[in-house]
Every structure is written in C-alpha cells, then in structure tokens.
Structure 1
Amino acid sequence: MNARKRGVLLLLSSFVLTLSLAAMNQAFAAIDVYEFSSEQQEDEFRELIKELRCPKCQNNNISDSNAPLAQDLRDKTYEMIVEGQSKQQILDYMVARYGNFVRYDPPLTPAVLMLWIIPLSCIALGFVLVWRRSGSKAKTDELSEAERQRLAKIIEEEKSQS
C-alpha cells in the first residue's frame, strides 16, 4: 500500500472512531445517577419527577424528557430532597418559578373554573336561544281567527274568479 492510501485510510478510520466516541458520549449522557440516604427519599424523588411537567416539551414529565431544562429540574428536585424539603415545598417552589403549568394535575383555581364555565355557559345559552326561537316560530305558524276568516274570503274570491 502506498503512503497516500495509508493516509486516507488512517484519516477515514480516525473519523469513524471520532463519530463512534461522540455517539457513545450521547448515550451515556442520558443516564442519571442520584444517590439517596433513604429509600423514602428515592421514592419521593421518583414520584415528583413523574408529577412535574417539562416546560419545554409540554407533553412529557421531567422523568421522560431529555431536554436540558428537564435535566435542570431533576437536579433541582434531587437537591431539594437531599436538603430535606417536603414534597409540598418542592411543588410550591416549582409552581412559583414555572407556574401551575409545571404540574400535570394543577389545583382547581378560579382561572381554571372560568376556563370550563365560560365555554359551557356559552353553549348552554346557544341551546336556549335556539329552543326559544324554534318555540316562537311554532306559535307564528298558527293563524288567528281574523286571519282565518280573511284567508277563507281570499280562497272564495279565487274560486269565484276561476
């Protein structure tokens, strides 16, 4: 093999090796290792990261998300659990920082009630208006006694003219 072919082969093999190492680095980066002093802390951590929603992904909890923001939230949750903060304190911190959206099961607030009540009341109002309109139409289909007499007179005039 001449020197040129060896150089190309060496360059190609180093390129493949670099890509392989980069891919392995990405695979290892997704594994989180957290050490807890008790099993209760670990259970609480697992429960919290499944209950908190990733603000970036919006459809994943921070346990399932690979977004850097989700990693930061997992790290902060771990840090707060190790410090001995309760689940409610951690949830309060996350809600204060990211809003109620960060929780998969947000609390019932007046704003949430309005989001449900306003559309439902508009639909109900629409049904009432349609019902009233259809009821008033039925009443106008009936003729009064004076209208019946007038109609009978018009029909008789038509018959006599033909």
Structure 2
Amino acid sequence: MRRSLRITFASFSAALGLIAGAAIAQEPPPAPDRPLPDAAQEARAQDLFDGIRCVVCQHEAISDSPAGIAADMRQLVREQVAAGRTDQQIEQDLVRRYGDFVLFQPPVRAATWLLWFGPIALMGAVAAALLLMVRRRRVEAAPLSPDEEARLAVIVAEAGVRPDPDAKPSDH
C-alpha cells in the first residue's frame, strides 16, 4: 500500500513538474504597444506594419501578430518613422536584418525569382504534363488475321470455354 502511494505521489510530482516547466518555458507577453504621439506618423507606421511579415507567424502582418518579435518589429518601425526615415529606408533596414521574406511583396531580383515565378513555372509544368497525358493515344490492337482467329478457336475449343453469343467474329 505504501509503495503504491509512493509511486502515485512520484507520478503526480513528475506530471506537475512537466506542467510547471511548460508554463515557465512560454514566451512572456510582449509589452503593450506605445503609439507615436504624432497621428500622421502613427498612421504611416500602421501602413508599414501591413506590408511587413512576422518572422515567427509568417502568414500574418506584424500589425496582427501577437508574437513578441512582432511587437519588437513594430517598435523598431515606430522609432525609425519618428527619426524621419523614409518608408524605403525602413524596409531596407528590415530586409537587411531578416531577409527579403520579411516583406509581403519582396523585390523582383535574381535572388527572389523563385518566389515570384516559381508558382507560375510549377503550374506550367503541371499543365504540360497533363497535356502530354491527354494527347497520348492508346494503341489499339490490330484485328486478328484469319489464321490467328482459327488458332484462337482451336485453343478455346480445347479449353472448353463456351463462346460468348454477343461477341463479334474476332472475339470468338
């Protein structure tokens, strides 16, 4: 009885430790955003947020992402807007830090051709493969010669197979 209590207590302690460890390992919530005091600058920053991809979520703009790094990126953009940098300079700085992937519309250049033209090339390859499959004709068997029909009739008769009454003469 005592042994089963010790095992139960040990199991309970281990489970509690795992749960507590997972809770401790979570990322702390980001500090709340502090908008810029100038409404025009804040509006400009908000416009920039919509074109910048969260590097953690990858499918969300930093304006919509709850990730801590998205909050850091929003703060960085706000600081650069307040410092008077242009939109292009801010985007170039983010690309320098995180790569072209950080922009929802990366620039067209040799390094991003696959991003821009890869889906089109893939669809073209699939269309070409389908076209080849459709155009491929089935090879129809040539009709049997009279000698071949006679040999087939002998084989069928020897096998004791009853001929199909609906069959054509070459099917007998």
**Same fold (TM > 0.5):** yes
Match of 2:131 in 1: 128
Distance 1:54 1:40 in 2: 24
Over 3 Å counting, the alpha-carbon distance change for 1:63 and 1:152 in structure 2 is same
Match of 1:151 in 2: 145
- Structure 1: runs of 5+ lacking an equivalent: 1-25
Distance 1:116 1:65 in 2: 26
Match of 1:99 in 2: 99
Matches within 5 A, 1:37-116: 37=38, 39-108=39-108, 109-116=112-119
Letter aligned with residue 85 of structure 1: R
Over 3 Å counting, the alpha-carbon distance change for 1:113 and 1:152 in structure 2 is farther
The alignment yields a C-alpha RMSD, in angstroms, of 3.0
> How big is the shift at 1:128?
2.9
C-alpha deviations, 1:94-122, integer Å up to 9, x for none? 12211222122334442223421332232
Q: Secondary structure at the match of 2:127?
A: helix
Say which structure is richer in helix.
1
Q: Secondary structure at the match of 1:141?
A: coil
Letter aligned with residue 45 of structure 1: A
| Kept in 1: contact 2:36–2:78 (CA 8 A) | no
> How big is the shift at 1:156?
5.5
Match of 2:10 in 1: none
> How big is the shift at 1:62?
1.6
Count of matched residue positions in the alignment of Structure 1 and Structure 2: 126
Q: Secondary structure at the match of 1:105?
A: coil
State the identity as a percent: 29
C-alpha deviations, 1:64-121, integer Å up to 9, x for none? 2232211221111011101111111111211221122212233444222342133223
How does the TM-score come out when normalised to structure 1? Answer: 0.62
- Structure 2: runs of 5+ lacking an equivalent: 1-27, 158-172
Match of 1:141 in 2: 140
How does the TM-score come out when normalised to structure 2? Answer: 0.59
> How big is the shift at 1:44?
0.4
Q: Select between 75-84 and 45-54 the one with higher mean Cα deviation.
A: 45-54
> How big is the shift at 1:159?
7.0
